[in-house]
Structures are given as structure tokens and as C-alpha cells.
Amino acid sequence: MTKKDIVSNLLRGRPATPRAEAKTFAPANIALCKYWGKRNEELNLPVTSSLSLSLGALGSEVVIAPCEGSDRVELNGQVISSEASFATRLFEFLDLFRPSPETRFNVIARNTIPTAAGFASSASGFAALVTALNELFGWGLDKRALSILARLGSGSASRSVYDGFVEWHAGSREDGMDSYAEPLNARWPEIRMGLLTISAQTKKTGSRPGMKHTVETSPLYAAWPEKAALDLAELKSAIAAQDFERLGRTAESNALAMHATMIAAWPTLLYWLPESVRMMQRIGDLREEGVPVFFTMDAGPNIKLLFLENSEPAIRAAFPDVQIVAPFVN
């Protein structure tokens, strides 16, 4: 089973003539229970299920239109060379959807979060691209199908098809048709996520090679699937009960466990910077001072804070440069 097989199955009988243009947006998402490790690299099938919280208005906007000549991509107002890794990955993904080899696309993308810096820009980017293609061709696909297609571009993109709390089911089928995301029936208006940008630079080791290296060389990875399953159940229970202490504690523990598997890989894989560690220590100090705040981290140096609305003044005082997101407000 290949990516092309899945696309062909889902698009069988669907329109193949593009409209003039389509424009869509997808939110970035930050995993509270992480996705780290694949059981099938071709189809981006995960070893474990995961759970995320969307970043509301922070994410990716994509405008796509058919064009003459060759594919063209613009990111945040800058034309990207066709030889750049960003463009190569995008064009290879578009190859899955071309009605004919002559079909070419002009893609204009705008990220409202740093690109390739551990803020899940690839997740929102591929989710926005798939939903834009759905609009461009008028396929009329439901969100489950869109989640599966987005997963083919980036695993975490399966979750960015939705807002709020989203669970991505690992599935067990070899064709991956049971590996998709769906939203939890839960709202938590008081919850906040704070983004601490320690570095907006492109990370030296991308998530894909970092994940593969960890799975292949880390002696701690064998314990990860059980840890992820326990944390997922705990997080869902905490969300249902709106138990913030349990939610924060579990999310922070999950992130640290994931990074521990990376650090134990050989050669070691360390995404943290000295400022990352300093911020982690400051968060621990705040908790000791009575401020209920926790953190999570993806494959990058940047910190994401978890706290409730009534802690916002204390968080702003401690972290003046924090960008605060209210996922369930507006």
C-alpha cells in the first residue's frame, strides 16, 4: 500500500477539474500526548495514539490555484526555490493529487507561527493544503478523509483538520484507513496556552529524521508506547473532569519522557537550548510559589505553557514576551 493508493481510493469518482482558486486556513496543534515513532514510514502511521490542543488563530493559510509552466510556492511573501527542501516536500505531496502530469499549482502559504522551529507549522501547513485542494477540486470529502490525506504529508497534520482537543487514533490496519483524528466532545474556555519562543530558527534536525533516529537507537524507546497509552487515558479523563492539575502534570511528564528517549539515543538528540532549561526551572519555581502552570515541548527548543485564565496576570509578569492563546475563545 502506497500513499498514491490511498489517494486514489479516497478520490475515486471525485471531480478532477480544478476551479480558479481556493483559500483555506488550518490551526497549528500542540500535542499533550506526543506522537513519536512510526510503524509505517511511507504512510506516516504512528506507533501510538496521541492527543493535541489547537492554537486557534495561529496556524497556516494556503491559497492554491492551477497555473501554467511549473509549480511555484511562496511562503510568507517570499518565493521559495524549487530546489529547497520545503518546496521539494510540497511538490512531492502535490504529485499525489495531480489529475494529469501536466497539472501544475501555484501555492501561496502564510504561517502565523515560526516555520520548522517546533511549533507544528508543518501540521497546519499540510492540513490547510489538503482542505484547499478539497475546495479547489470540489471533492466534497468529509473531515475523516481529509485527516487521512493530511496525515500523508505530516503525521501531526491529521489533527490540524480540527479545532480544540483532538485525538489521533494510531489504528492497526496496514492500509492506515483506521488511523485518523477526531475531536473530543469537550470545551474548556478557561484553558490557556502560552508560547515562549526561545529560537525561531530552523532546527538542525527535523522531526522526521529525529523520530527515526530515536526509534532505531534509543534504549529508552521500548518503554514509550506504554507510557503514551497511560498518559492518553489520563489526559482524556482529566479533560472530561476539567481537572487542570492532572492535565498539566500528565502533559509535562509526557513531553519530558519523549525528550528523554531522544537524549538517550546515540548520537544523542538534544533539541533544548540553555534558555529552554532556564525556562523549565522558572516554571517549576512558579509552581512552588503557588502558580498552577505546566509546560510541554515538541521537537524543538521552544516552550509551551499550560495554565488557566485566572493565572494569566502572573504568567505575563513572569514571562513578558509570552504569546497567549485561548483555544476555546472566539
Grid cell digits, residue 154: 505530516
201 pLDDT band (50/70/90 cuts)? Answer: confident
| pLDDT over 70 at 119, yes or no | no
User: Does the residue 149 lie in any domain?
Assistant: yes
Q: How many residues does the chain have?
A: 330
Q: Which three cell numbers stand for residue 210?
A: 529525529
Phi-psi region of 37 (alpha: psi -120 to 50; beta: other; left: phi over 0): left
Confidence (pTM): 0.95
| Co-location of 114 and 176 in the same domain | yes
Task: Answer whether residue 160 is part of any domain.
Answer: yes
Residue range 131-156: mean pLDDT, rounded = 98
Range of the domain at 227: 191-325
Domain at 300, CATH number: 3.30.70.890
Place of cell 493530511: 150
For residue 305, the surrounding DSSP H or E stretch is: strand 303-308
Q: How many domains does the chain have?
A: 2
pLDDT category at 122 given cuts 50, 70, 90 is confident
pLDDT tens-digit map of 260-301: 999 999 999 999 999 999 999 999 999 999 999 999 999 999
Strands 78-79 and 72-75: antiparallel
Q: Are residues 16 and 101 in the same domain?
A: yes
Q: Is residue 13 part of a domain?
A: yes
- The reply to whether 29 falls in a domain is yes
Question: The CATH number of the domain where 145 resides is what?
Answer: 3.30.230.10
**Within 141-292, where are the H helices?**
143-153, 207-217, 224-241, 244-263, 274-288
d(CA 89, CA 92): 5
Same domain, 100 and 228: no
Are both 172 and 247 inside the same structural domain? no
**Cα dihedral 99→66→134→10 (10° resolution):** 10
Tell me which of 81-85, 134-138, 313-317 is least confident.
Answer: 81-85
Same domain assignment for residues 156 and 234: no
- Residue 117 confidence class, pLDDT cut points 50, 70, 90: very low
State yes or no: pLDDT of 120 exceeds 60: no
Strands (E), 68-132: 72-75, 78-79, 104-111
Is 142 domain-assigned?
yes
Instruction: Establish if 330 belongs to a structural domain.
Output: no
Mean pLDDT rounded to a whole number for the chain = 95
Facing residues of 23 across strands?
63
Given the DSSP bridges, would you call strands 50-67 and 45-46 parallel, antiparallel or unpaired? unpaired
Digit-coded pLDDT (tens) for 147-189:
999 999 999 999 999 999 999 999 999 999 999 999 999 999 9
Same domain, residue pair 18 and 43:
yes
Mean pLDDT on 135-150: 98
Sole residue written with cell 477526531: 182
Same domain, 13 and 150: yes
